Structure 1
Amino acid sequence: MRLEGFVGDYLKGITEQWLLIAPRANPGMLEMFRDRDASPLRQMVPWSGEFAGKYLTGAVQVLRVTGHSVLKSWLKKFVGILIGLQDDDGYLGPWSKQYRLTNTNVSERHTWDTWGHYHAMLGLMLWHEETRD
């Protein structure tokens, strides 16, 4: 199936002007996972851990309807990086050890860490369903 017209143009624009650019334009999307235990702790919004998973979920849905080969190749790299940032205990979020899955942070504010894991797992599950990778 090939999408043309307004919808095809829209998906092409999303792919080329957002999905292929966003993680490079905003490296913090993944860096927050890499340096989650670095000192001093990052100042983050409560929903910080959701960005990578929501990005991946949306990107896979676009991939499903477009079959865009460059997007698929890029997402394979993105998924590899994301999986590589999972800690030995299975944690896949941006919060330091003392705040993992407690839904609080250093400022004693609530975080959405559980939701961040949901979005990461959903994105990875959709990626696997689409690619068997």
Structure 2
Amino acid sequence: MNDQISRRSMLFSIASSAAIPAFTKIDIKKNSNLLQQTASPSVQSQDRFSPINPGDVALEGFLGERCRKNERARLLAKNEDELLQGFQKRPGKQAWVGEHAGKWLHAATLAWVYTKDPYLRSKLDRVAAELITAQKDDGYLGTYSDNAHFGMGNNEQWDVWVHKYNLIGLITYHTYTGDKNALEASRKIGELLVRTFWQPEQGDRKLDLNQRSTHMGMASGSVLEPVVLLY
């Protein structure tokens, strides 16, 4: 018998065995903070573990030098316009082009906490501010046209995925800088996702998160991690 298990099979096994908490029924029209109000009291608890602050770590040798080179040659050198263009001039050139801004914000924030480089911090602040400025009033911060939000056309399968990385980047940026605008932008994304995908047991059925991306919903479903972090 073959004892090996594929990565996909393992992920499906984990996902199918996970306990999903019940959601409290709410009136969307009467409540503004949807993200917090849909959480069951059973999941309102603090993390048991937290990562070490990068500023408390000093890496030496080969690894330390690689980290410093990564900051100088990659994070500082990254073209800001390329990161933001898809949000400022929608639609973006590629289906998943919007993922890069959030990824950069996440990595650059952690690098800045480690190095305290003022040039990197200045670039961080600019990119974060411009990204937040591109957010629509309803919380949308993707790179798709107005008539294609969270759709399923050939070029619309990564919209939730893009919001996932924007959440990761903005939450990390807020965590280490205290920027309130980043937290507010994240909250607006979270509430938009709840309005779009929240499905009461017998109520008004919204879009199915599992059907909003390729790979049988794994790409879109991964947004749940930063949503939990936001909560």
TM over 0.5: yes
Closer, same or farther: CA 77–90 of 1 in aligned 2, 3 Å:
same
Contact 1:50 1:116 (C-alpha < 8 Å) held by counterparts: yes
* Partner residue in 1 for 2:61: 5
Report deviation, 1:79.
Answer: 0.5
Unaligned runs of 5+ in 1: none
Trace 1:91-110 onto structure 2 (pairs within 5 A): 91-104=140-153, 108-110=154-156
Using structure 1 for the length normalisation, give the TM-score.
Answer: 0.81
Closer, same or farther: CA 84–124 of 1 in aligned 2, 3 Å:
same
* Partner residue in 2 for 1:73: 122
Report deviation, 1:78.
Answer: 1.0
Closer, same or farther: CA 80–2 of 1 in aligned 2, 3 Å:
same
Closer, same or farther: CA 67–103 of 1 in aligned 2, 3 Å:
farther
Number of residue pairs the alignment of both structures matches? 123
Using structure 2 for the length normalisation, give the TM-score.
Answer: 0.49
1:19 corresponds to 2:75:
yes
C-alpha distance in structure 2 between counterparts of 1:62 and 1:103, whole Å: 36
Aligned identity (percent) is 33
Question: What amino acid maps onto 1:10 in structure 2?
Answer: R
RMSD: 1.8
1:30 corresponds to 2:84:
yes
Report deviation, 1:58.
Answer: 1.5
Q: Give CA-to-partner distance per residue, 1:46-89, whole Å, 9 cap, x none.
A: 21121111111121222233232321221011101111111122
1:101 alignment partner, SS class: coil
1:48 alignment partner, SS class: coil
Contact 1:57 1:126 (C-alpha < 8 Å) held by counterparts: yes
Closer, same or farther: CA 73–28 of 1 in aligned 2, 3 Å:
closer
Consecutive aligned runs of 4 or more in structure 1 exceeding 6 Å deviation: none
Closer, same or farther: CA 109–131 of 1 in aligned 2, 3 Å:
closer
Contact 2:113 2:176 (C-alpha < 8 Å) held by counterparts: yes
2:79 alignment partner, SS class: helix
* Partner residue in 2 for 1:121: 167
* Partner residue in 2 for 1:111: 157
**Greater relative CO (CA pairs within 8 A, separation 6+):** 1
Report deviation, 1:109.
Answer: 4.1
Pair member with larger Rg: 2
Unaligned runs of 5+ in 2: 1-56, 180-231
Question: What amino acid maps onto 1:52 in structure 2?
Answer: A
Question: What amino acid maps onto 2:88 in structure 1?
Answer: R
